[in-house]
Structure 1
Amino acid sequence: MSDARETVFTYAAPHLKLGPGASREVGYDLAAQGARRVLVVTDKGVAATGAPGHVADSLREAGVQVEVYDGSHVEPTDESLAAAVDWAREHGPWDAFVAVGGGSSIDTAKAINLLTTNSGELMDYVNAPVGKGADPTRPLKPLVAVPTTTGTGSESTTICVLDVLSQHVKTGISHVSLRPTTAVVDPDLTVSQPPMVTACSGMDILCHALESYTAKPYTSFAAKQPSERVPYCGANPVADMWAEKSLTLMAGSFRRAVQDGSDKDARFDMALAATFAGMGFGNAGVHIPHANAYPIAGRVRDYRPADYPQDAAMVPHGMSVSLTAPAAFRFTYDASPDRHLRAAALLAPDAPRTDDPRDQLPSVLADLMRAIGMPNGVAAIGYSASDFDDLVEGTMKQQRLLATAPKDVTEQDIHDVFAGSLHLW
């Protein structure tokens, strides 16, 4: 068996249009591409802000026929995605799709695009071992992603994230063809984000940047044939550049955006940070905090965060990712000490030095999380030590993510990370 190492990394990103008012140009752009019938995908909360309506108006003004689907579920499930796909199949065909909203709306649009252009059902394409992990065989239609939250990076990625209700696990569909063709990032659309949504979305940005920056280097993977390379190829010089810039922007804008949602300079920098982090992790990948986040969110019992719908228990994605991040980065420190210390310095240049350098990045993260109102560990959202075995089982199903971790990960390692995340301060 050959022990040759990979010498090639790949990089891809959507076309990008960024700036105040950019969302008003969606109609012009799609009409110029020949689209005549377009589906706008959003959720009821975002629809109430008027943003999807304005985007639909820009399409109509450009001579494009438009329908709006506002049934996206906050934190999509297999059931909500199946319902959206059924609706789109019944009311199609479509020349293109526009997603207006957070990661939930963008991921719903990705699923609609996949399953209105390809045969089969949702679980055929969900990552193994949860689903069958099939690849699409037919090309997808153009998808324009217009994020209204600063955080998920879904406008830049090849991933559609969902809860599989019957298995109590969060997982995803991953394929290069799911990446939106265009990302339209309009900071004006994020001004209405309430504080906790801004905080959770921002922690998602932060973990995207940190996880891609500390991921296993692309050169540490076994050499692959071109057809075998996956979008998540490991840390590489191009993704590193985006991650570092994202962390620098977050250092100056994150607290300000949470404390004062009307601070347009902070909102603009957060939009840039989210986009840059997405361009990084959408190629390098993420690892342990995101793998842990899936069972944390999928097994929640009673927790209902402020500023989110209160009709059902939920842990917002960015929150679920952040809660084990300090302990996870303490575990991964010895794989790349310099990167962990540089990341901490970029995020908090004036933070005091810890006695043990492996605690530097965890300390910076815990201080930030406390300042923006994140829960104090997994205990604060209803978990106890008796839940760890169940949570570990859910994490170990996320092998697509764990493959990018900078160290080999055992069940005991993940158990220790959860134990270190019960309380953060």
Structure 2
Amino acid sequence: MNFNYYIPTKLLFGKGQLNNLHLEKLPGKKALIVISSGKSIRENGYLERVEKELTLAGVSYAVFDKILPNPIKSHVMEGAAFAKENGCDFVIGLGGGSSIDSAKSIAVMAANEGDYWDYISGGSGKGLPVPNSPLPVVAITTTAGTGTEVDPWTVVTKEDTEEKIGFGYEKTFPVLSVVDPDLMLTVPPHLTAYQGFDALFHSTEGYINKTAYVMSDLYALKAIELIGRSLSAAVNNGKDEKAREDVALANTLSGMVESTSGCTSEHSLEHALSAYHPSLPHGAGLIMISCAYYTHFAKSHSCDDKLIAMAKALGKTDANDPIDFVTALAELQKACGVSELKMSDYGIKEEELMKYVGKAYETMGGLFEVDPAPLTKEDCFAILKASYR
């Protein structure tokens, strides 16, 4: 029982909390608002509401609206240049994980010279220390998927080399985050499912991770319980406010898992898939490989007690075998209408599966080191092959 604990983000959680943003001491006088290239943030009125809150707070702003579902390095560099040109002294990520992740990366480059990949460890990154502190980041999440509002992590793809790699350190934690479940009522069913399973796997990976400890375990099991209880309800009736609240809390807790423990190789494998195939939603990719992935660890008997505990948290209260977690997982995927996802629908070819394994080790090999048992390249190939449809 010996650990360090650090999550410095101030969190405003709950229905209507966006309306309180102007009451907070914001970290600057001009914000760069980072949103996606899609229409939903504007059409649902969320951008207008944030702009109103900033105006009430006496803060000016500029909007950068090019972020893709799988963020790319060129947009990070472009957004950072835009922030400098407009004299922005803090960054607001408004939207899902892609917008908030991009806001963190833009905040780094708006305060530093060179190329973003200079600071990336893994793949072709140079792994250099970041000289200057990033601009402060405020996160306002409109989805329940990544937990990035309370963790320091950001995932970006270097499009010319097809490398999708995570980055973050203590200075990339948001200083303030708003989690208002009302902003999630408009998320369509399939995206609600993809995002909810991403939050689930942040929690399950963090729970079986070698770095897990008492604090991460508390957050992980509660997040798994909330998702097991309410994700299918949120998917099947997006206007169910209680279900949305549960999943929003699970998502934020999963971010706290990411801040205290972390991901395992499941994320390395999926990042390799969506690096090559950016139309593949991250959560969908995780769903596709998850049953085979956790079956591997159930058969390895490396984390039996934890798999049983996760099965119980997910709702299978009579669980007594590690494979019961896979059974509960498959049942939840069916209840959420995502059990029939196919890799082939996103251009992934069976004969290229070993390529993705190699990319996973090359770009995010560090996550394999925290798996509960060693996962060889042959094991990874077998997981992808068993998942392929």
Which bin holds the TM-score, normalised by the shorter protein? over 0.9
For 2:376 and 2:342, the matched residues in 1 are separated by 22
Report the CA distance shift for 1:13/1:237 in structure 2 as closer, same or farther (over 3 A). Answer: farther
Q: 2:34, 2:102 within 8 Å by CA — same for their partners in 1?
A: yes
Match of residue 312 from structure 2: 345
* 1:267-306 to 2 correspondences below 5 Å: 267-300=244-277
**Match for residue 99 of structure 1 among 88, 93, 112:** 93
In the other structure, the counterpart of 2:237 is 260
Letter aligned with residue 79 of structure 1:
S
Matched, 1:422 2:388: yes
Q: Report the alpha carbon displacement of residue 378 of structure 1 after superposing the two structures with TM.
A: 3.1
Shift in Å, 1:74: 2.0
Hey, what does 2:113 align to over in structure 1? 119
Identify the match of residue 320 of structure 1 among 285, 297, 301.
285
Matched with 1:195 is 189
Aligned CA-pair RMSD: 1.9
Partners of 2:80 and 2:110 within 8 A in 1: yes
1:389 pairs with 2:383: no
**Is the contact made by 2:284 and 2:341 (CA closer than 8 Å) also made in structure 1?**
no
* Match of residue 56 from structure 2: 61
Q: Is 1:366 the equivalent of 2:330?
A: yes
> Is residue 112–residue 130 contact of structure 2 (8 Å, CA) maintained in 1?
yes
TM-fit CA distance, 1:249: 0.9
Question: AA paired with 2:155?
Answer: V
Closer, same or farther in 2 for the Cα pair 1:11/1:403, shift >3 Å? farther
Pair 1:65–1:50, CA change in 2 (3 A): same
After superposing the two structures, state which structure 1 stretch, 112-121 or 237-246, moved more.
Answer: 112-121
1:252–1:8 distance in 2 versus 1, CA, 3 Å: closer
- Distance in structure 1 (CA, Å) of the matches to 2:122 and 2:322: 34
1:248 to 190, 213, 225: 225
Identity %: 28
Question: TM-score if structure 1 supplies the norm length?
Answer: 0.85
1:207 corresponds to which residue? 201
Indicate which of 15, 21, 25 corresponds to 2:16: 21
- Once the two structures are superposed, what CA deviation does each residue of 1:236-283 show, in whole Å capped at 9, x if it has no partner? 100100011111111211000000000001011111000011101222
Q: Distance in 1 between matches of 2:123 and 2:157?
A: 14
**Any runs of at least 4 consecutive aligned residues in structure 1 with deviations exceeding 6 A, and if so which?**
none
| Counterparts of 1:335 and 1:189, CA distance in 2 | 40
> How far is the alpha carbon of 1:377 from its aligned partner?
4.9
Measured after TM superposition, the shift of residue 178 of structure 1 is 1.2
Could you report, residue by residue, the CA deviation over 1:38-57 in whole angstroms, capped at 9, with x for unpaired residues?
A: 22211242233211221111
Q: What is the match of residue 219 of structure 1?
A: none
Equivalent pair of 1:351/1:364 in contact (CA under 8 Å)? no
1:163 aligns with 2:157: yes
Structure 1, residues 70-95: CA drift from partner, whole Å, max 9, x if none?
22222101222222222222222x23
Q: Work out the CA distance in 1 between the residues paired with 2:309 and 2:167.
A: 32
Q: Does 1:73 align with 2:68?
A: yes
- Structure 1 unaligned regions, length at least 5: 1-5, 217-233, 301-312
CA distance in 1, matches of 2:295, 2:9: 33
**Aligned residue pairs, count:** 383
Corresponding letter in the other structure for 2:333: M
- The answer (yes or no) to whether the contact 1:13–1:279 under 8 Å persists in 2 is no
Separation (CA, whole Å) in 2 of partners of 1:16 and 1:247: 21
Q: Are 2:224 and 2:313, in contact at CA under 8 Å, matched by a contact in 1? A: yes
Alignment of 1:322-337 (within 5 A): 322-333=287-298, 334-337=301-304
1:9-48 to structure 2, matched below 5 A, reads 9-31=4-26, 35-43=28-36, 44-45=38-39, 46-48=41-43
| Partner-residue secondary structure (3-state), 1:389 | helix
1:22–1:361 CA distance, 2 compared to 1 (3 A) = same
Q: Distance in 2 between matches of 1:65 and 1:299?
A: 38
Structure 2 portions without partners, runs of 5+:
none
1:222 is matched with which residue?
Answer: none
